[in-house]
Chain A
Amino acid sequence: MLELIFSDYTFRIVALGTILLGIASGLLSSFVTLNKQALVGDALSHAALPGIVLVFMIIKVKNLELLLLGALFFGLIAIGLTNIIKKYSKVKFDSSLALVLSSFFGFGLVLMTIIQKTPTASQAGLNNFIFGQASTMLPHDVYLMLSISILVILLIILFWKELKLFVFNPEFSQALGFNNKYISLLFSGLIVLTVIIGLESVGVILISSLLVAPGVSARQWTNRLSIMVVLSGLFGAISGFFGTIISAISPKMPTGAIIVIVLSVITILSILFGSKRGIIWRQIKNKINNHKIIAYQWLNNSEINSLPIEALQFLTKKNYLAIQNNEYVLTNEGRKLIDYYKEAQE
């Protein structure tokens, strides 16, 4: 069964496409989540609709590159609008995002109904941009995805330093003489590029997940940006690949939805078990720390032998105390613990 699928031409094309998309959006999602712009992808993917429809109305054929150019244009306008709203009013960022996305999308719908009325043009396939249809991907689309993904990756590498500064400390970046306006524009441009190559395969609604979940997952495993970016790219690629396999094995499964579900499973596992911030790991660490603090408070007492017997038993079990000549004495472990906390207190 699997062999059959791997040798299948369509599968290879689709899988390649979704993996590339996963990598590009995964890499970017690290910056997106760190910059607290998780919902920008969602807004942009909706806002791009009028761009696509408008270009289609003008050129009357489905030329992917030009349609995406329209999407890019309207995506940037949407970002500009939210920035203007932020600058000139006290309206919260998420409210302005919600408004911009719904009005742009509504405008796109209006344009769609206009197209439907013109008898010559067939708008067939434009719906794919809204809901995504990975199975209709053509080699031509994959080449486009390949080139855009490479562009995204190259830009991230090239502007690594600037993006890093911008995400963590925009004021410092400005003070050092970087122009935050340009970096912000670059950042938005990257998001828009990724969103529009995702539109065709996973659709407007699900692309936002690809721009958030990999970054959140990767964040649970590391405190280093470079590792986080690589990990999130990897998570994106994995979910693209397995999502495509699962939807290929069972008929009628929507590829985009499966990709998102695989990605969400990775995210949930990361949040639970992640080695840096995961919930379970953190609780274990908390428990160990609690033990240590209690042990320290007991040990810091000068009269070790006057401690209650339960405490002595506990400390011996934890190897902080040992029995010598019927007396409890500090072990090396115990001494280390006291030194550590004393230092920390100072």
Chain B
Amino acid sequence: MNPGLEVQIIAILVSLCCSLLGVFLVLKKQAMLSDAISHTILLGIVLGFFVVHNINSFLLIFGAALVGILTVFLTDALTKTRIISSDSAIGIISPLLFSIGLVLISQFASNVHLDMDSVLLGELAFAPFDRLVLFGIDFGAKSIYVMLLILILNITFIIIFYKELKLSTFDQSLAVILGFSPILINYLFMGLVSITAVSAFNAVGSILVISLMVGPPITAYLITEDLKKMLIIAGGIGIVNAVVGFQVASLFDISIAGTISTVTGVVFLMTLLVSPKHGVIMTLINRAKQKRIYILHALLFHLYNHEDTQIESEEASLKTICEHLNWTNKQLDKILNYAQKNGYVIMKDGLIKLTECGRRYTIQEYQSLIESI
């Protein structure tokens, strides 16, 4: 396989692993825990290194997973005292464990190649250099197989524990009543998040891990509210981000991890802008529509109220109505145009008059308004 294709495959696999777990992370409102874990597993790697004395050992992943779970445990414990909020707890625990990791490296492992740059920033382009060689045959980049394994693990976990995950994500109390243990599921899940994060950032760096865990799920969240659909869409968006990011990065020869996370951010913002249900553009259009209808109702109700009364000439005349409704001339022109176009009002001797159709519409709207109260 050529290295470019291998990098692309790794990017896609990492992206899928992270997006699937990220869906639950985001729904559990624990997105920033991914940030915390991605920093604290440095400590796990260092501690694991002290045990096995080999920076490339597979066992480091378990050290990292343990510290990841420890992070979750400590923040939970701090939050449970109800002295501090959960985000403050993360803000205290994560830098503390990270600092301990830094100090340990500087004191006991400074001659080891445990480069801060590569841990945090990661360089996907170097991933293919680490080969899986069995019986003298080169099977391709090691990361591909590691990430494939993790992906299978994640998917199996989600399928087997789908019901439990869903329950403990949305309704912890119900889960407890039904006899599930949301705490156990939570720690299993967080262990998986840590394993995924550490194997992923071996290849892509921890910042990209955060981006992949949070970006595709919240983009999917803008589109759907169904958990199953959200998982599928998030996976799809993850793949798209990985492909687009990698292609752009190789085109301009820039940091792959950085480009993928930039693309992730851009894709989210675009979706936010144009999403059919809750997008910014749709929201603005809907608000404008509602505003126009509100103003139209105000005008029609006002006219109907004073129709055929003595003061009609004063209340409904073109000259005075602005003052009565506290509008500017421009506003009035706009809404009059709209109302005339729809045939609700006509102009007669400088007075605004309801048409037959307008009167019917007004009465109907007025009644539905009263009913809704």
Contacts and interface: CB of A to CB of B under 8 A. Distances in A.
Given A39-B91, A99-B211, A206 B98 contact: yes
Interface in B262-295: 262, 264-266, 268-269, 272, 278-280, 283
Interface string B82-96: 011101101110111
B151 interface: no
B91 A254 contact: no
A106 B265 contact: yes
B95 A260 contact: yes
B301 to A, nearest CB: 30
B165 interface: no
A234 to B, nearest CB: 18
A99 B84 CA distance: 24
B100 A101 contact: no
Interface string B12-39: 0000000000000010011110110001
B81 A103 contact: no
Given A106-B207, A209-B95, A100 B265 contact: yes
Interface in B12-70: 26, 29-32, 34-35, 39
A92 B26 contact: yes
Contacts of B197: none
A110 interface: yes
B280 A107 contact: no
B106 A98 contact: no
B246 to A, nearest CB: 13
B117 interface: yes
A95 B26 contact: yes
Contacts of A97: 31-32
Interface stretch (B1-9, B153-161, B249-257, B304-312): B249-257
A36 B79 CA distance: 13
B210 A38 contact: no
Contacts of A85: 272
Given A106-B207, A106-B261, A127 B117 contact: yes
Contact of B214 (A46, A99, A208, A219): A99
A176 B164 CA distance: 48
B146 interface: no
A101 B83 CA distance: 27
A102 B272 contact: no
Interface string A249-286: 01011101110110010010001000001110000000
Given A106-B208, A112-B255, A206 B106 contact: no
A42 B91 contact: yes
By size class, the interface of chain A is 35 or more
Main secondary structure on A side of the interface with B: helix
Contacts of A91: 218, 221-222
A258 B102 CA distance: 9
Contact of B215 (A42, A103, A127): A103
Interface residues of B, number: 65
Contacts of B254: 110, 113-114
A118 interface: no
B261 A105 contact: yes
Contact of A36 (B85, B121, B215): B85
A22 interface: no
Contacts of B90: 38-39
Contacts of B268: 99, 103
B255 A98 contact: no
A209 B278 contact: no
B358 interface: no
Given A212-B91, A257-B99, A271 B283 contact: no
Nearest to A105: B207
A257 B103 contact: yes
A140 interface: no
A103 B278 CA distance: 22
Contacts of B102: 254, 256-257
Interface in B96-124: 96, 98-100, 102-103, 106-107, 110, 116-117, 120-121
B168 interface: no
Contacts of B88: 33, 36, 38, 212, 215-216
B103 A253 contact: yes
B81 A253 contact: no
Contacts of B210: 98, 101-102
A88 B283 contact: yes
A98 B91 contact: no
B31 A36 contact: no
Contacts of B266: 103
A294 B85 CA distance: 32
Contact of B278 (A38, A90, A100, A108): A90
A105 B262 CA distance: 8
A220 interface: yes
A17 to B, nearest CB: 18
A302 interface: no
A250 B107 CA distance: 9
Contacts of A110: 249, 254-255, 258-259, 262
Contacts of B99: 206, 209, 254, 256-258, 260-261, 264
Given A103-B264, A113-B258, 8 more contacts: A42-B32, A96-B218, A98-B35, A99-B268, A106-B211, A109-B258, A114-B254, A130-B121
User: Top 6 closest A-B pairs, CB basis?
Assistant: A103-B265, A106-B261, A109-B258, A209-B95, A102-B211, A212-B91
Interface of A: 33, 36-39, 41-42, 46, 81, 84-85, 88-92, 94-110, 112-114, 117, 127, 130-131, 205-206, 208-209, 211-213, 215-216, 219-220, 250, 252-254, 256-258, 260-261, 264, 267, 271, 277-279
